[in-house]
Amino acid sequence: LSAFVAPAEAQTYPTRSITMIVPFAAGGPTDVISRIVTGHMAQTLGQSIIIENVVGAGGTTATTRAARAANDGYTLITGHMGTHAASVPLYPKLAYHPERDFEPIALLAGTPILILARKDFPPKDLKEFVAYVKANAEKVNAAHAGVGSVSHVSCELLHSILDIKPVGVPFNGTGPAMNALVAGQVDYMCDQIVNAVPQVNAGTIKAYAIATPERNPSLPNVPTTAEAGLPKFQAQAWNAMFAPKGTSPAILASLNAAASKALDDETVKKRLLELGSVIPGPAERTPEALATLVKNEIAKWTPVLKPAT
């Protein structure tokens, strides 16, 4: 394969459907955000975008596949803070490097993290939760989407602040992990807001706090971690679109423009905001801004996660 698609081909791109790899199970945050944004991008690009959920190893199985895919613009991936940053310190034998093996396309959404629990988990607020998990660290368990996933890394951060090491229960995504939480099969989870809003509003799970400086309009009654007594726990993830390294600049520009147009669409915006996402402004949507974010996030998470491995 040549490193670049010929300019003539880039001008007509795309001539067939595009595959968007989602590195977690259907119904979870990455899947939901991808479907909302690519649904609109497909209209702009005049071709369908097929979501392919490829699960395993905290999203790194799918991300390896995407890194090795043809760089012709027809296989892309929605990655996130886990697959494209936290995986670096957590997987010493990672088969890809987020910076060297991918072309950044666009940041799609910021996603605040919440501390959630099954409905009948005994603590009634965050202070009680902290006391309870510290007293019962041997008994409680935390669901997550695999080592290096956002939910895993976020609860690792929480656990390091609380100085506890509860059992983790891995799933192929927080879509299935959320089902287990709703069913009362696991105790708690540190999850991205898009997965939490429908369940918290339906009263099927508890939300102790949101780990951002401000409350989120989609869950106005959920206190911030600072308000609830744990100001040190601050966590917000992000989801973004990438192409394999060497994808032509013209194709990347066309994908970036389509993603940005989607984020300006009223229906897309409404849906993302209803689910609590933070929509990136124009300056944050450029490939250059995403490259900087990935670099900074790897630098941020490496010292936090290395000692744990």
Q: Point out which residues bind ligand MLT (CB under 6 A).
A: 24-25, 28-31, 82, 145, 149-151, 173-175, 191-192
Residue nearest to ligand MLT (CB): 28
CB atoms within 10 A of CB 269: 15
Query: Please, which residues bridge with residue 167 across strands?
Result: 141
Q: Which is nearer to ligand MLT, 10 or 143 (CB)?
A: 143
Nearer to ligand MLT, 45 or 158 (CB): 158
Closer residue to ligand MLT in complex, CB, 30/248: 30
**Minimum gap (Å) between residue 231 Cβ and ligand MLT:** 23
Shortest Cβ 118–ligand MLT spacing (Å): 17
**How near is the Cβ of 142 to ligand MLT at its closest, in Å?**
11
With respect to ligand MLT, which residue has the nearer C-beta, 158 or 251? 158
| Closer of 14 and 98 to ligand MLT (Cβ) | 98
| CB-CB contact of 260 with 215 (8 Å) | no
| Tokens describing residue 155 | 């609860």
C-alpha distances (whole Å) from 177 to each of 76, 229, 263 are 25, 26, 28
DSSP classification of residue 48: -
Dihedral over Cα of 34, 37, 40, 41: its sign: negative
State the minimum distance, in angstroms, from the CB of residue 194 to ligand MLT.
Answer: 9
Whichever of 27 and 246 has its CB closer to ligand MLT, that residue is 27
CB of 262 to ligand MLT, least distance (A): 19
22 close to 62: Cβ distance less than 8 angstroms: yes
In the complex, the smallest distance separating the C-beta of residue 237 from ligand MLT, rounded to whole angstroms, is 7
In whole angstroms, how large is the CA radius of gyration of the chain? 19
CA distance 87 to 309: 11
Q: Classify 62 as helix, strand or coil.
A: helix
Distance CA 141, CA 167 (A): 5
CA distance 49 to 35: 9
Minimum CB distance to ligand MLT smaller for 14 or for 176 = 176
**What's the min distance (Å) between Cβ of 185 and ligand MLT?**
17
Closer residue to ligand MLT, CB minimum distance, 24 or 238: 24
Task: Output the smallest distance, CB 174 to ligand MLT, in A.
Answer: 4
Of the CA atoms within 13 Å of residue 59, those in its CB half-sphere come to 35
CA distances from 169 to 13, 174, 176, 229, 242 (A): 42, 11, 11, 26, 29
Spatial CB neighbours of 183, under 8 Å, sequence gap ≥ 6: none
